[in-house]
């Protein structure tokens, strides 16, 4: 585990908490409005992690702690469906000078860099690879792929959380994130309550969750929970006008989510600050900003619980650079979280290997129209890139990817049909119509 030696230093830091330089030299300030933020004079330029990635050797030329300032915080906005959290998150990010990470949607991974919407090819894909997005889920919530969709969403929320951490550690700018993998289980509970997912996948989900959450390591500094009653949420959902959403997201579904959020907040309470608001009538963002400014998000004592522990027990540059590489590269985190977990007892996640072969055939012949992977197709406008590919974990030309299951998964996917037929000459469009 990168930076694990820094945990030993945490003890010394805790014992010597009275000698913190902030306590003696100047007053410690929490998060401030962006108009009041004063960066130190030697504050470095943000590290362009999306184009440069971050490897261990980059730590020699760019120190992580130099990027931090008062507003290098992770704020998470939680709430029920239709509670108004997107509006609040946007306004919070705008007022504090943070960057807003919207909630993950399946559209983020179903449209690739060339503008190909995989949903347009669903009639050619095998049934297992027609992952529903939220609209398709609302239309047919009892479908066979609801569990696969939930599994994919949790996987991508994991990536999104690491992206938020990478943004903070590489640029110093704070992040306002909507929902986290920590609270994703509220949807699994709701889907299980209405039998949209089966018992086997439900158990598997909690097993994966228990394995994956410790790999995120950092908890949010602050969780803003919007407590909107379910009838108010239903009104907001009706106002959106999506008939399938209105049919699927009913009182029972929302009530289960609301009850599950109580468990989620109980879990957050051990590691993060929490602000909860009655959002029956949407409140004023300025009031929330004032409350955030009054919080002390920099306080940590070793013997006073685990709130802010992960952000304050890393003691040196090696530790911070290690965690920065960990959250930016994502390879170790994903490997420790998701690899090696057997799925053979979860029928809803079963993938026929022949379906995988046909999916790869369709990708080569119909979607990409090329035997090469993403980023390496000259006729799609890709330049010769990846000449100095030293990064680990994926084969895209860029060192950093946003979601593994958007494009990076494609190079790791293989099958018997395609391993010896590298140009997919045995592609059979009628495969999807055959009886298997």
User: Which parts of this chain interact with another protein (CB under 8 A)?
Assistant: 371-373, 376, 378, 384, 386-390, 395, 410-411, 414, 419, 422
**CA quadruple 314, 316, 319, 324: dihedral, nearest 10:** 90
Closest separation in Å from C-beta 408 to another protein: 12
Closest separation in Å from C-beta 357 to another protein: 14
Q: How many CB atoms lie within 10 A of CB 99?
A: 15
Between residues 270 and 419, which has the closer beta carbon with respect to another protein? 419
Closest separation in Å from C-beta 370 to another protein: 8
* 85 burial via Cβ count (<10 Å: 0-12, 13-18, 19+): buried
Between residues 206 and 372, which has the closer beta carbon with respect to another protein? 372
Pair 341, 211: CB distance under 8 Å: yes
Closest separation in Å from C-beta 327 to another protein: 24
d(CA 216, CA 149): 21
Phi, psi of 30 (to 5 degrees): -90, -155
- In angstroms, the Cα distances linking 432 to 127, 228, 378 are 8, 45, 30
Between residues 1 and 385, which has the closer beta carbon with respect to another protein? 385
Closest separation in Å from C-beta 387 to another protein: 5
Pair 259, 80: CB distance under 8 Å: no
3-state secondary structure (DSSP) of residue 276: strand
Between residues 264 and 418, which has the closer beta carbon with respect to another protein? 418
Between residues 261 and 376, which has the closer beta carbon with respect to another protein? 376
Tokens of 381: 């406008």
Closest separation in Å from C-beta 359 to another protein: 13
Closest separation in Å from C-beta 373 to another protein: 4
Between residues 267 and 421, which has the closer beta carbon with respect to another protein? 421
Between residues 87 and 426, which has the closer beta carbon with respect to another protein? 426
Pair 402, 163: CB distance under 8 Å: yes
Angle at 282 between CA 277 and CA 285, to 5 degrees: 75
Q: Could you tell me where the beta strands, DSSP code E, fall in 200-304? A: 222-227, 273-278
């Amino acid at each position: 585990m990168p930076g694990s030696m820094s945990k030993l230093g945490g003890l010394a830091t805790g014992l010597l908490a009275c000698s913190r330089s902030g306590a003696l030299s100047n007053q410690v300030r929490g998060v401030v409005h962006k108009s009041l933020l004063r960066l130190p004079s030697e504050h470095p330029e943000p590290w362009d992690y999306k184009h440069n990635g971050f490897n261990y050797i980059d730590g020699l030329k760019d120190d992580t702690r130099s990027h931090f300032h008062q507003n290098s915080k992770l704020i998470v906005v939680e709430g029920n469906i239709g509670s108004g959290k997107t509006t609040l998150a946007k306004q919070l990010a705008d007022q504090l000078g943070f960057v807003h990470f919207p909630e993950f949607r399946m559209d983020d991974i179903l449209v690739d860099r060339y503008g190909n919407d995989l949903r347009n090819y669903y009639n050619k894909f095998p049934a297992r690879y027609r992952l529903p997005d939220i609209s398709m889920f609302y239309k047919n919530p009892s479908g066979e792929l609801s569990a696969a969709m939930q599994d994919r969403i949790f996987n991508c929320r994991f990536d999104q959380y690491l992206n938020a951490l990478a943004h903070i550690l590489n640029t110093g700018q704070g992040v306002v994130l909507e929902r986290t993998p920590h609270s994703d289980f509220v949807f699994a509970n709701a889907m299980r309550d209405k039998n949209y997912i089966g018992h086997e996948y439900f158990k598997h989900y909690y097993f994966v969750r228990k394995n994956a959450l410790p790999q995120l390591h950092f908890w949010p500094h602050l969780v803003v929970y919007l407590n909107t009653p379910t009838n108010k949420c239903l009104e907001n959902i009706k106002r959106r006008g999506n008939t399938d959403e209105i049919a699927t997201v009913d009182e029972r579904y929302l009530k289960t989510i609301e009850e599950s959020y109580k468990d989620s907040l109980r879990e957050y309470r051990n590691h993060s600050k929490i602000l909860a608001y009655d959002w029956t009538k949407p409140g004023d963002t300025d009031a929330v900003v004032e409350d955030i400014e009054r919080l002390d998000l920099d306080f940590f004592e070793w013997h006073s619980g685990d709130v802010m522990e992960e952000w304050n027990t890393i003691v040196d540059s090696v530790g911070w650079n290690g965690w920065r590489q960990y959250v930016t590269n994502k390879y170790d985190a994903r490997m420790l979280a998701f690899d090696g977990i057997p799925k053979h007892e979860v029928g809803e996640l079963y993938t026929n290997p022949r379906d995988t072969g046909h999916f790869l055939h369709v990708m080569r012949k119909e979607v990409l129209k090329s035997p090469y992977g993403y980023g390496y197709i000259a006729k799609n406008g890709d330049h010769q890139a990846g000449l100095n590919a030293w990064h680990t974990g994926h084969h895209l030309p860029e060192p950093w990817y946003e979601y593994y299951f958007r494009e990076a998964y494609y190079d790791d996917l293989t099958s018997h049909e395609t391993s010896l037929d590298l140009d997919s000459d045995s592609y059979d469009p009628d495969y999807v119509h055959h009886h298997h």
